[in-house]
Amino acid sequence: MYKKQFSHKRQRRPFHKKGNFPHAKRSRGSQYIDPSKFINKAVSPAGETEKVEHFVPEHQFKDFAVADALKRSVVAKGYKVPTPIQDRTIPYVLNGRDVVGIANTGTGKTAAFLIPLIDKVLKNPQEQVLIIVPTRELALQIDEEFKAFAKGMRLFSVCVVGGAPIRPQLKALRHKNNFIIGTPGRLKDLIKRDSIKLAHFSTLVLDEADRMLDMGFVADMRFIVRGMPTIRHTLFFCATISREIESLISEFLTEPVRISVKTGDTPKNIEQDVVRIGRGKMKFDVLHDLLNQKEFNKVLIFGRTKHGVKKLSHVLTQRGFKAESIHGNKSHSQRQRALKLFKDNQVQILVATDVAARGLDIADVSHVINYDLPTTYDDYVHRIGRTGRGTKHGKALTFIE
């Protein structure tokens, strides 16, 4: 078991002060994170999962006032009962209310806005929806989910993201698209080229708005929002609320309904612990021993730098592991290929920089390993959210040198 690598004295050494963990190295410019935050064993994961499973929704999907074809699509995708964010959000969106949704990652918020907005467009085919997200991976994922829900309904979407060739996107935008899903920088570029006419869009979704703020997209977000009609339907989703986020909410939304299903900084069904690298031990050798254990069957490993991620993936492959990597130096198509191999279980390990930490919905990730410490605690929260999706159990390990 991987627990052999842990300090057996942890119970007698509470980590309430920086000095209690002298070997927790961090890079210049990174935030000090109390290593006790990387440990979560206080609540039985089984007990917490039981609580989640006993959530009783107020609605069933068949109860929502949406088109029968859409209800059939929901069933075809395997959706049985709404998650808390879906149960509480969908009725307000169907009624045209502005919504602020605050939820942990993996709670099903994509369907919470796609289902009612698809119905909205079915009822009014002239309606156009703009969805803004922080990363290309999340944009592609939402587009894929949209296409599954809207199959056979003659609704169309286009995904416009940076890092991908712009010409095919320009060509696709010449046709009628009910939904445009994109990242802020590429959207701004296409708007300036007059390929996207914001005046035609009266529905806006800002997904992972806190991440867009963190990534420096606030000016692009404002540029896009100010070009849209003043009277519009706006949905705003985030995992964290800060003073800056509150300012954006008041700026972008009108009398929004606030829906919070967040139960804490990290989901309780993710067991979290640290792996201390003892004196004389090599960090990679400890990782190697963990990955050879049977339970580590689908592992997402986070590194801090593009070079480090590339090197670690290469060494793992040399050691006989099936591994891929995604980082900023890879092309769009290379990153999508690596993600597909990992999603399809053709590789055991995906090594990534934080570009992969937000929004990705990869089924059945058994473990997240923080090989390098995250820069901020918020980054940590989003990294480990790739495991334990929904009500499933997950494990997160953080290496401490």
Pair 364, 388: CB distance under 8 Å = no
354 has a pLDDT exceeding 90: no
| Last residue within a domain, chosen from 215, 233, 260 | 260
Mean pLDDT, the chain, as a whole number? 85
| Last residue within a domain, chosen from 260, 277, 296 | 260
* Beta-sheet strands, E only, within 47-172: 99-102, 129-132, 157-160
**C-alpha 398: how far from chain center:** 19
Model pLDDT, residue 45: 34
Residue 282 lies in a domain: yes
Pair 161, 183: CB distance under 8 Å = yes
**Which tens digit of pLDDT belongs to each residue from 91-116?**
999 999 999 999 876 788 999 999 99
Question: Do 287 and 367 share a domain, yes or no?
Answer: yes
Residue 47 lies in a domain: no
Model pLDDT, residue 240: 81
**Which tens digit of pLDDT belongs to each residue from 323-340?**
999 988 888 788 889 999
CB atoms within 10 A of CB 240: 17
Residue 45 lies in a domain: no
**Which tens digit of pLDDT belongs to each residue from 147-159?**
999 999 999 999 9
| Last residue within a domain, chosen from 210, 238, 260 | 260
Query: Could you please report the per-residue DSSP string of 13-27?
Result: S---SGGG-TT----
Question: Do 83 and 33 share a domain, yes or no?
Answer: no
Model pLDDT, residue 52: 36
DSSP bridge pairs for 370: 302, 398
Segment (H or E) for 203: strand 203-206
Model pLDDT, residue 5: 43
Model pLDDT, residue 46: 34
Question: Do 382 and 284 share a domain, yes or no?
Answer: yes
Question: Do 326 and 223 share a domain, yes or no?
Answer: no
Question: Do 172 and 245 share a domain, yes or no?
Answer: yes
Model pLDDT, residue 39: 72
9 has a pLDDT exceeding 50: no
**CA 182/CA 201 separation, integer angstroms:** 14
Model pLDDT, residue 53: 42
Domain that holds residue 150: 56-260
Give burial (CB, 10 Å; 0-12/13-18/19+) of 394. Answer: buried
In percent, the amount of the chain with pLDDT more than 90 equals 61
Residue 390 lies in a domain: yes
State how many domains the chain has. Answer: 2
Contacts of 152 (CB under 8 A, 6+ apart): 69
Residue 79 lies in a domain: yes
Question: Do 225 and 90 share a domain, yes or no?
Answer: yes
Model pLDDT, residue 23: 41
| CATH number where 283 lies | 3.40.50.300
Question: Do 27 and 143 share a domain, yes or no?
Answer: no
Q: Which residue has the higher pLDDT, 26 or 14?
A: 26
Residue 46 lies in a domain: no
Question: Do 100 and 165 share a domain, yes or no?
Answer: yes
Phi, psi dihedrals of residue 177, rounded to the nearest 5°: -125, 125
Question: Do 208 and 231 share a domain, yes or no?
Answer: yes
**Which tens digit of pLDDT belongs to each residue from 17-64?**
333 333 445 555 566 777 767 777 533 333 332 333 456 888 899 999
Question: Do 149 and 291 share a domain, yes or no?
Answer: no
Which pair of structure tokens corresponds to residue 360?
């990705």
Q: Is this structure's pTM higher than 0.85? A: no
Question: Do 241 and 283 share a domain, yes or no?
Answer: no
Question: Do 66 and 208 share a domain, yes or no?
Answer: yes
Model pLDDT, residue 293: 94
Least trusted range by pLDDT, from 189-203, 293-307, 336-350, 368-382: 368-382
Model pLDDT, residue 256: 95
